[in-house]
Amino acid sequence: MAEIGTDIEKAAQWLLRDEVVAIPTETVYGLAGNAFSPPALSRIFEVKDRPTFDPLIVHAANVERLAGLVLDFPSLARRLAEAFMPGPLTLLLPRDKRLPDLVTSGSDLVAVRIPRHPLTHALLERLPFPVAAPSANPFGYISPTTAQHVNRQLGERIPYVLDGGPCTVGVESTIVGFPQGQPTIFRKGGVEVEQIEACIGPVTVRAHSVSNPQAPGMLATHYAPRVKLVLGDLDRLRDQYAGHRFGLLSFDRVFPDHPGPLQVTLSGSGDLREAARNLFAGLRRLDEADIEMILAEMVPETGLGRAINDRLRRAAAGSSRTEH
């Protein structure tokens, strides 16, 4: 198992030697490596079993360093950066050619973000390079929101997990790009669509793409538990699957007649932020239980609810695929 700790210097020493370590962010834990080192980047893909055509997000300490990674920083992007960085926002911008091809899978655009977590911020300030970091889970599986989640799955493959406690946002960053100058959301995430529109006006949402080979994280089948997940009305689903051993994932309801360990209530008070924080840990808990399937309901399609529903839909699509 990897060592788990809060020692920034230890994490830095591994990274300086081209190793990869897990780092906390406000969204999910990342699997970090030197963004300018092809061996470190290869190691990231290897540890995650991730295909190299799926590009990585580059994490920088501050806007000045981030600006050094891109060729152009258009004014709409700057406005978003001022409003939401550090924070759960990723910008797709023209890439500085000094970044290795492996980071962007050969694309002319690079995804950049400034995480909002004190430990990782200190680590990035300490390092002479930015780090590339996908979510620290095996490719296609649920993202980790605690150091223990990371260690359980990748602990045999990495030397160190920097433990920053449970992630405070709980869903991945919102990805915004500017194709032909048009602000476009490619992945719904921790910054709400409404917040982005309040900052820069109307945006296109293209986050439902089912066939973008450049970005598997945007595919319909991703973020999937191993066990089948069925989305719908929980009362109806419970009747339909009576006699089966199922887990329940609800927004704000508790089912007194269903075993406690086999149900997850995302937020008893109906708070979407709390629901986002609990989503991936809840899915994991049910996925590790002895059940045949997870029955789940969507949350209100507003604010962070849009990102939560997006992950639930993909989890449902991914799990029905693996069933065949």
HSE-up (13 A, CA, CB side) for residue 299:
30
Give me the least distance between CB of 172 and ligand TXA, in Å please: 4
Give the sheet arrangement for strand 174-177, strand by strand.
Answer: 3-5, 160-162, 21-23, 30-34, 131-132, 57-59, 109-113, 89-94, 174-177, 184-187, 204-205
- The answer to whether 263 contacts Mg ion (rule: CB under 5 A) is no
Q: Using CB under 6 A, which of 12, 111, 203, 231 touches ligand TXA?
A: 111
- The answer to whether 44 contacts ligand TXA (rule: CB under 6 A) is no
Report the partner that residue 54 touches, choosing among Mg ion, ligand TXA, none (CB closer than 5 to 8 A by kind).
ligand TXA
- Sign of the dihedral through C-alpha 212, 94, 184, 192: positive
Which residues are 204's β-sheet partners?
184
- Give the Cα separation of 171 and 279 in Å (integer): 8
- The answer to whether 135 contacts ligand TXA (rule: CB under 6 A) is yes
CA nearest to 258, candidates 278, 276, 269, 244: 244
Report the partner that residue 25 touches, choosing among Mg ion, ligand TXA, none (CB closer than 5 to 8 A by kind).
ligand TXA
Residues 171-210 that bind ligand TXA (CB under 6 A): 172-173, 175
Stretch that binds Mg ion, among 75-83, 103-111, 133-141, 163-171 (CB under 5 A): 133-141
Stretch that binds ligand TXA, among 53-61, 158-166, 191-199, 201-209 (CB under 6 A): 53-61
Residues in binding contact with ligand TXA, number by CB under 6 A: 28
Stretch that binds Mg ion, among 105-113, 127-135, 207-215, 286-294 (CB under 5 A): 127-135
HSE-up (13 A, CA, CB side) for residue 211:
0
- The answer to whether 264 contacts ligand TXA (rule: CB under 6 A) is no
Stretch that binds ligand TXA, among 49-57, 155-163, 203-211, 301-309 (CB under 6 A): 49-57
Q: Using CB under 6 A, which of 8, 20, 21, 28 touches ligand TXA?
A: 28
- The answer to whether 293 contacts ligand TXA (rule: CB under 6 A) is no
Report the partner that residue 151 touches, choosing among ligand TXA, Mg ion, none (CB closer than 5 to 8 A by kind).
none
- The answer to whether 146 contacts ligand TXA (rule: CB under 6 A) is no
- Give the Cα separation of 37 and 237 in Å (integer): 49
Burial of 39 (0-12, 13-18, 19+ CB in 10 A): exposed
H helix runs in 231-298, sequence order: 234-240, 272-287
CB atoms closer than 10 angstroms to residue 116? 19
Query: The tokens 């997006």 sit on which residue?
Result: 310
Residue nearest to ligand TXA (CB): 217
**Which of 164, 282 has the CB closer to ligand TXA?**
164
Rg of the chain over all Cα atoms, to the nearest angstrom: 19
Q: Which phi and psi angles does 256 have, rounded to 5°?
A: -60, -25
**Which of 135, 173 has the CB closer to Mg ion?**
135
Q: Using CB under 5 A, which of 104, 120, 135, 309 touches Mg ion?
A: 135
Q: What does the binding site for Mg ion look like in residue numbers (CB under 5 A)?
A: 135
Note the residues at the interface with ligand TXA (CB under 6 A).
25, 27-28, 30, 54-57, 90, 92, 104, 107, 109-111, 113, 115, 133-135, 172-173, 175, 214-218
